[in-house]
Amino acid sequence: MIIIGEKISIIAKKVREALMSHDPKPLQELAVAQAKAGAHFIDVSIGPAEENGPELMDWAVKVVQEVVQKPICLDTTNIKAMEAGLKAHNNQWGAPIINSTSNEPERFPMMELAGKHNAKIIALTLGKGSIPADAEDRCVIASEIMARGMEFGVPMENIFLDPLILQICTMQDQGKQAIRAVKMFQELNDPPMQTVVGLSNISNGAPKAVRAIINRNFLSMLLYEGLSAAIIDPLDKDMMDTVKTVEMILGKTMYAHSYLDM
């Protein structure tokens, strides 16, 4: 499974302060720790960054890639900031991921950017109006997004369909619908479409004591259905052990008594 390390997020106070003061150190420390723990991509979330978006993303991408030889998952709703991130990105270690587009018109330009810069892109199966009711609804939205991708010259293998993870504590049925959607998304194309989730949304609103348990178990079910990527905290050892164990049980890695140490 492709692991997108989620730690560099504007939501975290330490990161927010570092972004505001242009202090590279906290970002770089988080980037190095996540890469070491097994992250394949480093998510850099700067939020909407309405005032200085392009300049901020340019800076953040460069300071992160200064210390880790990994591609970045560029996380902002600001189109100009996204474009600045794509331009600043060093593709030597792989193409970046745009996080994200959806079926909302204001997010269409993100897909256009993916075509223009040959980037990968996360596509949330969310349209205008209400949230999708079930997996079938999500597939309809996914098809529309895929058609738009073709229009903008984005190869299907560059799109990661995201079934939109909703919180289990208020919408209990949605967890199961997301799992079904991951399975069904793959059938929309040959070779199968790639899939991704922002995992921890599932446990938003739940007490801290159960959040990690919900996250881990949910992930193992998604992996069983063929999930390709997840935005998670690679520094969470229990989470990484779950990933390794499921991949081993599914035969994607070879068993050895010390497989967790690998």
Residues that bind other proteins (CB under 8 A): 252-258, 261-262
* DSSP single-letter state for residue 131: P
User: Cβ contacts of residue 154 below 8 Å, gap of 6+?
Assistant: 111, 114, 115, 121
Query: Residue holding tokens 């079904």?
Result: 180
CA 216 to chain centre: 16
For residue 90, give the nearest of 72, 116, 115 by alpha carbon.
72
User: Please, what is the minimum distance in Å from the beta carbon of residue 36 to other proteins?
Assistant: 15
User: Please, what is the minimum distance in Å from the beta carbon of residue 63 to other proteins?
Assistant: 29
Compare residues 209 and 254 and give the one whose CB is closer to other proteins.
254
Q: What is the spatial distance between Cα 34 and Cα 40, in angstroms, rounded to a whole number?
A: 9
Compare residues 224 and 259 and give the one whose CB is closer to other proteins.
259
User: Please, what is the minimum distance in Å from the beta carbon of residue 217 to other proteins?
Assistant: 25
The encoded tokens of residue 215 equal: 């996250």
The encoded tokens of residue 249 equal: 């049980």
Compare residues 207 and 251 and give the one whose CB is closer to other proteins.
251
User: Please, what is the minimum distance in Å from the beta carbon of residue 258 to other proteins?
Assistant: 5
Compare residues 33 and 248 and give the one whose CB is closer to other proteins.
248
Q: What is the spatial distance between Cα 175 and Cα 218, in angstroms, rounded to a whole number?
A: 8
Q: What is the spatial distance between Cα 7 and Cα 213, in angstroms, rounded to a whole number?
A: 19
Compare residues 213 and 256 and give the one whose CB is closer to other proteins.
256
User: Please, what is the minimum distance in Å from the beta carbon of residue 244 to other proteins?
Assistant: 12
Compare residues 24 and 38 and give the one whose CB is closer to other proteins.
38
Burial class (CB in 10 A: 0-12, 13-18, 19+), 41: buried
Helix segments in the chain, DSSP class H: 13-21, 24-37, 53-67, 79-88, 108-117, 135-151, 172-186, 208-224, 237-249
The encoded tokens of residue 221 equal: 């079910």
User: Please, what is the minimum distance in Å from the beta carbon of residue 162 to other proteins?
Assistant: 25
